[in-house]
Structure 1
Amino acid sequence: MSDTPTTWRPQRIRELEMHLTERDVRILRDLERFRLLTSDQVQRLHFSASPGGPHATLTGAVRATNRVLTRIERVGVLERLPRRIGGPRHGSSTSVWQLAAAGERFLRALRGDPDRRKFGSPGALFISHTLAIADIAVTMTERARDHTYEVLEIENEPTCWRTFQSGAGTLTLKPDLLLVTADPTTETHSFCEIDLGTEHLPAIRRKCTIYQRYYRDGTEERTRGLFPAVIWIAPDEARAAALRTGIAADITLDPDLFTVVTATDAPRVLAPYEPPTTDSPRKEEHP
């Protein structure tokens, strides 16, 4: 379907509504929220494989995902990036998707939002980092289906950013993700920083300093009732060890405010867990 300014009228919205299912719209909303998703991540969010379910096997779920994404692509509301990501899986499962301009306008029309989003060609580092952020949220959502916790909040950039006043003037803290999970008795609140090993340690320490200033400002605690744990998520243990050493080397930083884990271990600290032994605020307990 073509989509030009002359054809984007109310009937165009109705036309899209006729071609898109409720699940299609949910996929579009996730692409709007995460900015980029792989076919694999879409499958994990919307086409879970389970015995007795609509997709009894992973193979069936993958095929259904690819079929639906291709159909929505033909409608013109999402588009496949020209580059693919590497890894053990090849073929269409490694395709990277984003909203097309028509998809963005369609979602705005549904909620009556006049703001427009600018579209460009994302670079390789942006793609890798954006997909890594999304994968943490997808993993926690996926695991919540099989465990005794819920995902209560997922705030992406820039919604999770925080602007505050400090002695240095107006500062903006820019977490990659804010995640809140809960079980029947506890909530775990986490600011997530996804590290790909590309930032120098001085830049990591500067980011930690902004977190510490925001913690001391007290705005988040007044609003939320607590200050989320700051979780640095590294690609491997060697990088995690380097981050721990680099943060500990700065004597101005409170080490209890920061936790460094690998991507593999991240779900263990992002899901509800036992109270910490320090005074570092991490979770809310309910009576």
Structure 2
Amino acid sequence: MSDLQENAPVASGGGGFASLGRGGLGLILPIGLALGWEVAVALHWADGRLLPTPSKVFATLWALGVDGTLPGHLWATLHRVALGFLFGVTAGTLLGAVSGYWTLARRLLDPTLQALRNIPSIAWVPMFILWFGIFETSKVILIAVGVFFPIYLALTSAILGVDRKLVEVGRIFRFSHREMITRILLPATLPSYIVSLRAGLGLGWMFVVAAEFMGAEEGLGFLLVDGQQTGRPATILASITAFAILGKTTDWLLALLSARALRWQDSFKPAE
């Protein structure tokens, strides 16, 4: 009984620390670095001309928001990433499932797709401009290409990595192809597939920068290039900060939905 009484406060304190960790522990490093740079520039230990202080960067974001410039750039970039993510996920899921489930399809498709996967993203830009012009189509397709490959690769590998014993059980019970997919393969591959969605989304945010270099007239990538061409480092960092905030927010939303989809998992809980 005394042992239980001794451990009770510890468990309570651990829960409070875990709550702190979930809420704000991850902000300590970026806020600490930002405050450190502010102090260094204020005390003239460093020059803030080429690397503006966070206060100046957020002031630039505020000014862009007040004059109505920032919302248009945000919407243009979000729209491109959303469309590219949708098309990339659709294609990656379909081809990944087909290649993972049917050996003939994998032997036919996988060598070509693996070769295309190793082409640098920037190498696609000239061809997409020639094929689709410099307007939205080429930008969305470039983003979709970036999203496609991690999803295709992860889903194919996840299907091939399903425990053979589970598949044998399905065959013993004479599962149809649909039942084999929905009752065995889908639950077994869902965790890896969800991780690939987050990886694909991250690459979508990376590829949108290259996409907006292709003659874009609006978007955060355009704002970044405009800051570079006009010698405004605060504008460059403001666009990078906006990318970071949008990317983290969308990843957090996807992780939240993923957690709900995987509530059935009895997964490992790391020590706190």
Q: TM-score, length-normalised on structure 2?
A: 0.21
Q: Which has the higher contact order (CA 8 A, sep 6+)?
A: 2
- Larger helix percent: 2
- TM-score of the superposed pair, with normalisation by structure 1: 0.20
| Larger CA Rg, structure 1 vs 2 | 2
